[in-house]
Amino acid sequence: MQRAREWLREARCVAALTGAGISAESGVPTFRGAGGLWRQFRPEDLATPEAFARDPRLVWEWYDWRRGLIAATEPNAGHLALAELERRCGRFTLVTQNVDGLHDRAGSREVLKVHGDIWEVRCTGCGRAGRDDRVPLPDLPPRCDCGALLRPGVVWFGEMLPQEVWRRAECAAREAEVFLVIGTAAVVYPAAGLVDRAKAAGAKVIEINLDATPYSEEVDCSLRGRAGELLPQLIA
């Protein structure tokens, strides 16, 4: 911890990658942890273009439930610490796999959401995109003014990442002197590839996770514990 703190203090350029684990302490379940199931479904059965084509109402009911759950939570000390780090650092880029918007609510300004945002909706017909914060949504599935179905503004299994967001995330990983990997099993590609990229470019990689991950042995520093406790200590 002491060494990691010094790396962070001395770095002019820092990037962080967060996953579902950082929001777990706020009460947003991770997909694979406890509470990740809705009715009898696994996320892999619902977060796909095929599931949406088959039963858009069912998929929207799941998203409406998750939006309600997220709306009732607050950012935790881990989210707040990253917002503070952004204010202090010369150059700081936050890349998140989370769709919950908790980094925004914690005050982070530059958030690269590589898996999209659960508060955004996009028309499957005319392509128009916008934000809808209503919980619950009045009609499921919601429709665009053009009559076509709206879909959640998230990246589903099997879909491409948003190109420009991804390009900027890769850039940040390449340029970072310190790269933080927080609350992600780092097995979901291509996001996990950012860790390799940062390492290859010479960054010190610091991992924060409750459990060991495939990366724990390879990183420069692996801190085992809750993000909400370790991140405030790391930036103190």
Binding site for Zn ion (CB under 5 A): 123, 125-126, 128, 144, 146, 148
Q: Which residue is nearest to ligand NAD (CB)?
A: 21
Which listed option, Zn ion, ligand NAD, none, makes contact with residue 184 (CB within 5 to 8 Å by class)? ligand NAD
Beta bridge partners of 120: 131
Q: Angle of helix 227-235 relative to helix 2-10, nearest 10 degrees?
A: 60
- Does 108 bind ligand NAD (CB under 6 A)? Our answer is no
Distance from the first to the final alpha carbon of the chain: 11
Full DSSP string of 80-135: HHHHHHHHHSSEEEEEE---S-HHHHHT-S-EEETTEEEEEEEESSS--EEE---S
Comparison of 89 and 185: residue with beta carbon closer to ligand NAD: 185
- Does 100 bind ligand NAD (CB under 6 A)? Our answer is yes
The residue from 11, 30, 62, 198 that contacts ligand NAD (CB under 6 A) is 30
Comparison of 5 and 122: residue with beta carbon closer to Zn ion: 122
Q: How many helices (H) and strands (E) does the chain have?
A: 10, 9
Q: In angstroms, rounded to a whole number, what is the distance separating the alpha carbons of residues 67 and 135?
A: 7
Comparison of 87 and 128: residue with beta carbon closer to Zn ion: 128
Using CB under 6 A as the criterion, which residues of the chain lie in contact with ligand NAD when the complex forms?
A: 19-21, 23-25, 28, 30-33, 97-100, 115, 183-185, 188, 208-211, 213, 226-227
